[in-house]
Amino acid sequence: MPRWPRQRLTHWLFLPKGKVSGRLTAWSCLASCLQLPITPEAAVRAVNRIFSILDAFTADRTKLALQEIGDRIQLSKATTFRLVNSLCGAGYLVKLEDQRYCLSMKLVKLAGVVASGLSVRDMARPTMVEIGRKTGETVSLNAVVGTDRVCIDVVEAESRLTHIVNLGEHAPLFYGATGKVLLAHLPPDEQSAIISALPADFSMESAELKARLAQIRKSYYAVTKSERVAGSLAISVALFDMDDRGMYALTLTGPEERMRDEQECNLALMLQAQKEISLKMGAGLFSAAVCD
């Protein structure tokens, strides 16, 4: 089911992006359409509530009663009723004969617009640049191609003393933090096929690697030191799509000597980036309930 990038729209409406009048006009149009308050504070809360309602619908719960929507997003019945009616009036929800609600085809149209105009690189790039600026290290975006991981975007480190990740670089999935994060989130049959073909000189036994992958799948990240390249340290986090699949890996890489003291801080930075980018991609894993 399509999900809307809540934080992105809120950012577009209320953070500097040209003239103030343009931002107010943008909000006024949406507020008028959904009959919402225009004050910035109330608007931010209303936008969050609106997207929480849309996020309440899932592939296994495509139709919800008003009380079910309120329970799922932890809003009062009166507030839920008001916002649901506004969304129905704007054409984003449909009220069915049995008094339940479902998402309308208008969202399918919007999903098509997003799919045709926005890639994972577009969504990740601003965050990658910001991480690179804050850490001074190399940041890469990676995906699975066959039995390899491949770098599909990279922000190079500012420092000369660095471990460089090259755009288009391939490496086996069982090596390094990046590969292990991607391998951990593959379907079981694909993962098993790769593990069964480990090279004879691989440093781990199959059972040990499986245990490590299970831990990574549970925590959504991996940290390795000198595993693929001697003297390097890598922090890699999974990025999740709208079906909550870990399809990509975002990785921070640099010399262990330089990164060691900042490892805890850098991990927190990467986990925050994981949440932000995954939300833009439509993942539901990191969606928080909105209180009344």
pLDDT digits (tens, 9 = 90+) for 186-236: 999 999 999 888 888 887 888 888 999 999 999 999 999 877 777 889 999
DSSP, res 237: E
Reported confidence tier of residue 163, pLDDT bands at 50, 70, 90: low
Please, which residues have CB within 8 angstroms of residue 177's CB and are 6 or more apart in sequence?
222, 223, 224, 227, 234, 235, 236, 249, 251
Q: Which two tokens stand for residue 87?
A: 């969304």
How much is the pLDDT for 34? Answer: 55
- Gap between the Cα atoms of 11 and 7, Å rounded: 6
Distance CA 54, CA 259 (A): 41
Q: Look at residue 291 and tell me whether its pLDDT is greater than 50.
A: no
Residue 271 is given by DSSP the state H
**Closest of 234, 245, 249, 284 to residue 56, by C-alpha:** 284
Which pLDDT does position 36 carry in this prediction? 54
pLDDT given for residue 119 in this prediction: 81
E strand map for 67-182? 93-95, 101-103, 138-145, 148-155, 170-172
**Nearest alpha-carbon partner for 10 in 284, 209, 246, 279:** 279
pLDDT of res. 33? 56
Q: Which amino acid is at 82?
A: R
pLDDT for the residue numbered 118: 61
Write out the CATH class of domain 6-116.
mainly alpha
Query: Which sequence spans correspond to the domains of the chain?
Result: 6-116, 120-280
User: 10 Å Cβ neighbour count for 148?
Assistant: 17
Phi, psi (deg, nearest 5) at residue 269: -65, -40
DSSP 245: -
CA-CA-CA-CA dihedral for 220, 245, 269, 155, to nearest 10: 120
pLDDT on residue 183: 94
Name the pLDDT band for 112 (thresholds 50, 70, 90).
low
6-116 and 120-280: same fold?
no
Q: Domain 120-280: which topology?
A: Beta-Lactamase (3.30.450)
Residue 33: Cβ-neighbour burial (10 angstroms; 0-12, 13-18, 19+): middle
Q: What pTM value is reported for the model?
A: 0.64
Give the long-range contacts of residues 66-75, CB within 8 A, separation 24 or more.
66/99, 66/101, 69/101, 73/49, 73/289, 73/290, 74/289, 74/290, 74/291, 74/292, 75/49, 75/290, 75/291, 75/292
